[in-house]
Amino acid sequence: MELRPWNRIPIRDSTDPLVPLPEPLLRLEPHPYRSLGAPYGATACPFRLRAGVIERLLAAQELLLQQEPGWRLAIFDAWRPLAVQRFMVDLTIAELCRERGIPPERDSPERRQVIAEVGRFWAPPNLDPAAPPPHSTGAAVDLTLARRGADGDPCVAMGSAIDAIGAVSEPDHFLTVAQTSPDPQERERALEWHRCRELLRTVMEQAGFAQHPNEWWHFSWGDQLWAWRSGQRQAWFGRVDADG
């Protein structure tokens, strides 16, 4: 199975437990992958992270409140067992193949291209404990911004949905659009979306998190990706397979 650049970093697994997100952190429910039938099992709650990661999330939320008093962090997804990672990778490949009219069950150059595109965003469900998918460690979180007390969907517009496949999900995509579009209205929208993405990145990085290079919504603290992005020699968190 293909390794990522950060999978070479050794893991010195901490005993920091996996715990539920506290009430001050907004959970976006129903949970998106459970709604799709992802195999969490009867008792495995996805809204859990390592205790130290939660402390930093709360710190990031305080930093956000200092800049936007009516806003808060909104958690889309957190801990993800390997079975769910495998389910979502397979589902995403199949859906993208269907959208493009590619037989999802047949090997072809077009299907291999889809797999490569999906692989920029979804880590492979690697069984090797030395190369865990970030979410399986309880150290990675997918999140966005939300307005307190908003009617309907509280989430702030960020220019693309979480899990969107393509360049639109790259953190600085809309900065490039704002700098190159000939349409003034498109430039204005792009600048606002970039401002919101940059605000999320700023408060998360100030709290110690590292951002996935291809995903505006994905941040982690203590896993191999965090170590690779922040120049650390080792990661603190390996895979968590069950409660613990």
Yes or no: say if 48 and 20 are a contact pair by the CB < 8 Å rule: yes
- For the record, the structure tokens of 156 come out as 């702030």
Buried residues in 104-119 as b, exposed as e (16+ CB within 10 A) = eeeeeeebeebbeebe
Across 8-18, b (16+ Cβ under 10 Å) vs e yields ebebeeeebeb
Length, in residues, of the chain: 244
Alpha-carbon span 34 to 31, nearest angstrom: 5
Residue ranges of E strands in the chain:
18-20, 26-27, 48-50, 71-77, 140-147, 210-211, 218-220
Point out the residues that are catalytic: 215
**Structural contact between residues 16 and 67, judged by C-beta atoms closer than 8 angstroms:** no
Write the DSSP symbol of residue 56: H
> Helix or strand or coil: residue 226?
helix
How many C-beta atoms lie closer than 10 Å to residue 90's C-beta?
Answer: 14
Please give the Cα distance from 227 to 233 (Å, whole number): 7
Integer Rg of the chain from CA: 18
